[in-house]
Structure 1
């Protein structure tokens, strides 16, 4: 009985993915990928900047200790 339900679920999933899902065009996919790449680079630069600021603050704090 469980195998039949599994097969039914797989068939329904395939049908939905094949006929009811709207897939992006190649152009839309490339544009989205470029946007994600640019956003990732910007976020990485922000994190790098924050890391550098915290690093310099910590160096300043530890320089007073010695």
Structure 2
């Protein structure tokens, strides 16, 4: 089994903004500042791995 086969679907900026209760602009600002949850840039789109988002939420970084 490859790693990619068990990652699951990545979340969009809209989904993460809704989940966290913040604006999309805030997520882009966090990325630009190097803050916020871990994010991947795929083409021109930001994508979030749900497990990494949950880990960030439960860490002391929040």
Range into which the TM-score falls when normalised by the shorter chain: under 0.3
Ranked by relative contact order (alpha carbons within 8 Å, sequence separation 6 or more), the top structure is 2
Give the structure with the higher percent helix: 1
Give the structure with the higher percent strand: 2
TM-score by length of 1: 0.23
